[in-house]
Structure 1
Amino acid sequence: MPIKAYGATAADVPLEPMDIQRRAPAAHDVQIAIAYCGVCHSDLHQVRSEWGGTLYPCVPGHEIVGRVTAVGDAVTRFAVGEIVGVGCMVDSCQHCSACAEGLEQFCENGFTGTYNAPTDEQPGHTLGGYTQAIVVDDKFVLKIRHPEDQLAAVAPLLCAGITTYSPLRHWQAGPGKKVGIVGIGGLGHMGVKLAHAMGAHVVAFTTSPHKRDDALTLGADEVVNSRDDAQMQAHAGSFDFILDTVAASHDLDAFTALLKRDGTLTMVGVPEHPHPSPTIGMLVFGRKSIAGSLIGGIAETQEMLDFCAEHGIVADIEMIAIQQIDEAYDRMQRSDVKYRFVIDNATLAA
């Protein structure tokens, strides 16, 4: 099935229109006409080969919302016409211990990413959501229960939403817990919304004082300028959990100092350059932890989507045409977006 897409043919060239092929739906496949696709910072890193290993042509996009247009003979959970989502994974081995526990993101044989992952199909690697349609195994398709007028703003939940929801759930953010969210961007703004909805006391950390009012509107109970030593010191030893969404290299000691005994600082951003080494004594003398977290499994992603639908949570977005994608990448690098770009995939037909 030939369809229109936008992708890059090399790291140093703009994205451009291209035609790609999708397989015909097999027995367990769901074919989806993509309505909206969120723009993740990972897309930029991959397209420009900043992480290395990019396979070209690279068609990014793993925050996908659309409508089912066909299903395979063995598919029972989805029907033509339903609104569905696809996130960062389109397959995993399905037989390792992680997959057996519903933790496909930690598949011991490596999950199949929605784009840039090896596959038997042309061109030899997966192609993502900057396209008109996608065909996905039904195990990796998610039900969307939000109203249709919110679907564009639902798309970023498939990555930014689950990336923040999973650690908040794992470390039991909720009533009686003081939770910090570091960084008020595409991930951080979702972290604030979700931690607030879970019932935690939420403190937003930012280096941009002008984001204070925005953070309070998103659901933060307090906002701290992390460059202000007095503001930081006022919270020393008081946090149960801090979620750090900042992908740039920075000093982690400033945040581990704010943890209670047995508190955890969890990282979800991967910096281009390593963080300065943390002070181990600060961890040892408080039994504190620095941890990491990677998206969520399919069951937990569905749980997150249902939680967000129940609580009326979506991302704050700016809609763009696919022809604006390179401009959006440049603006994203400057943090010039509140807080997530979403592509109107109908513009692929232009």
Structure 2
Amino acid sequence: MNTTYAYAAQHAQSPLAPFEIQRRPLRDHDVQMDVLFCGVCHSDLHQIRNEWHNSLYPVVPGHEIVGKVTAVGPAVTRYKVGDRVGVGCMVDSCRTCASCAEGLEQYCETGFVATYNGVDRESGDVTFGGYSTDLVVDESFVLRVPENLEPAGVAPLLCAGITTYSPLRQWGAGPGKKVGIVGLGGLGHMGVKLARAMGAHVVLFTTSPSKIEDAKRLGAHEVVISKNADEMQAQTNSFDFILNTVAAQHDLNPFLNLLRRDGTMTLVGAPEHDHPSPQVFNLIFKRRRLAGSLIGGIAETQDMLDFCSKHGITSDIELIPMQKINEAYERMLKSDVKYRFVIDMASLKP
């Protein structure tokens, strides 16, 4: 057992504070890593405040993790000490169900083991995440981080990156396709970058005129102010695919109206309360589809990292010390970050 320095929430009303945990001894296929950077996801805030009603306290958040291998178990074949690696939202799954067999561990039929706030299948212990100085994970759920990408900017790719990459790939974003991205936050800014790199015509939807210039810098061909009825009307029946990244409850109908026949809108934002039900005729009369998507499997996440390596894509980040995390959460709620906080874990080491 080795002592790990971390930050944890002890209950739904408590701020994150220093906490010590014991990482498990290395199993045969385990990789131990020194955590260098950890992204701050809105899910972290949902979990520490128990807004999804499934939190297991104490909660050590963090599932956008980049680190360096410091030790490996005796049966590890994929990694060696010194390798730059990453861990995303999962650290295990059943590995035998139909979804796992297809490389879709995120849809494991018995439920994947989350990087934090999950339950270890072997020991029964609650998992603790990347707001910590080191991590121990089975090699099958460890990813290789490209050496040509700046590691702090890679960290959010392990959640925000794959959450947007997977549906863009699944619904065929690419040359000749018109793709809408709703919202320009941590997820949305990655959606814009990735869809543009895939060759699609990219339109960003935002309620904030102040984001127009930045959206175009990130790769959007057009920007539509979604509160402007005329601008929305001009886009009616024109989209092949819309990726909706907004994590707040809102009316989906104005965006469904923009899909052409057989178009799809996929939801990846995870609101505390469900969206109002859309109008059925909006779907029926154009054979439109409303879908959802959850991160990606391990193989697809590696594909995403390799794609980002090829195209030089990382997240736009603001680097913070661990001691500023509670302040960062308050700023995140005000959308006062462009576009993802990343914790420099060196700030937590004694």
TM-score (norm 2): 0.98
Question: Take 2:76 and 2:165, find their aligned partners in 1: how far apart are those partners?
Answer: 28
Query: Cα 1:313–1:45, aligned 2, differ >3 Å: closer, same or farther?
Result: same
Change in Cα spacing, 1:297 to 1:42, as seen in structure 2 (3 Å) is same
Q: How many angstroms does 1:122 deviate by?
A: 7.9
* In structure 2, C-alpha distance between the alignment counterparts of 1:3 and 1:264, rounded to whole Å: 44
The number of residues matched between the two structures is 349
Q: Which residue of 1 aligns with 2:336?
A: 336
TM-superposed CA distance for 1:243, in Å, is 0.1
Tell me what 2:50 maps to.
49
Query: Which residue of structure 2 lines up, in the alignment, with residue 102 of structure 1?
Result: 103
Deviations 1:63-115 (A, max 9, x none): 00000001111111101000000000000000000000000000000000000
2:257 aligned with 1:292, yes or no? no
Structure 2: how far apart are the matches of 1:173 and 1:146?
A: 27
Q: What amino acid is the match of 1:140?
A: F
Kept in 1, the 8 Å contact 2:84–2:147? The answer is no
Displacement of 1:273 in angstroms is 1.8
Whole-angstrom distance in 2 between the partners of 1:190 and 1:309: 14
* Aligned counterparts of 2:31 and 2:294: Cα–Cα separation in 1: 25
RMSD: 1.1
CA distance in 2, matches of 1:78, 1:96: 26
* SS of aligned partner of 1:187: helix
Determine the C-alpha separation between the residues in 2 that align with 1:214 and 1:298. Answer: 31
Provide TM-score, normalisation by structure 1. Answer: 0.98
Aligned to 1:200: 200
1:291 deviates by: 0.2
Structure 1 residue aligned with 2:188: 188
Match of 2:349 in 1: 349
For residues 158 and 120 of structure 2, what CA distance do their matches in structure 1 show? 22
Which stretches in structure 1 are left out of the alignment for 5+ residues?
A: none
Deviation at 1:25, TM superposition (A): 1.3
- Tell me, in whole angstroms, the C-alpha distance in 1 between the residues paired with 2:341 and 2:239: 31
Map Cα deviations across residues 276-295 of structure 1 (whole Å, 9 max, x no partner).
Answer: 21111111010000000000
Please name the residue that 1:24 is paired with. 25
Q: Distance in 2 between matches of 1:146 and 1:206?
A: 34
2:91 counterpart letter in structure 1:
V
Task: Determine whether 1:77 maps to 2:74.
Answer: no
Stretch deviating more after TM superposition (295-304 or 49-58):
49-58
Distance in 1 between the 2:81 and 2:298 partners? 21
User: Equivalent residues in 2 for 1:104-183 (5 A)?
Assistant: 104-119=105-120, 124-147=125-148, 150-183=150-183
Distance of 1:50 and 1:123 partners within structure 2: 23
2:255: which partner in 1? 255
Aligned to 2:305: 305
| Native 8 Å contact 2:5 2:18 kept in 1 | yes
- Identity between Structure 1 and Structure 2 (%): 65
Cα distance 1:167–1:120, how it changes in 2: closer, same or farther (>3 A)?
closer
> What's 1:241 paired with?
241
Corresponding residue number in structure 1 for 2:35: 34
- Residue 241 of structure 2 aligns to a residue whose secondary structure is strand
- Residue aligned with 2:100, SS: helix
SS at match of 2:325: helix
Tell me if the contact between 1:21 and 1:122 (Cα under 8 Å) persists in the aligned partners: no
The structural deviation recorded for 1:147 is: 2.6
Q: Distance in 1 between matches of 2:306 and 2:118?
A: 28
Q: Which residue of 2 aligns with 1:7?
A: 8
Query: Which stretch shows the higher mean deviation, 70-79 or 184-193?
Result: 70-79
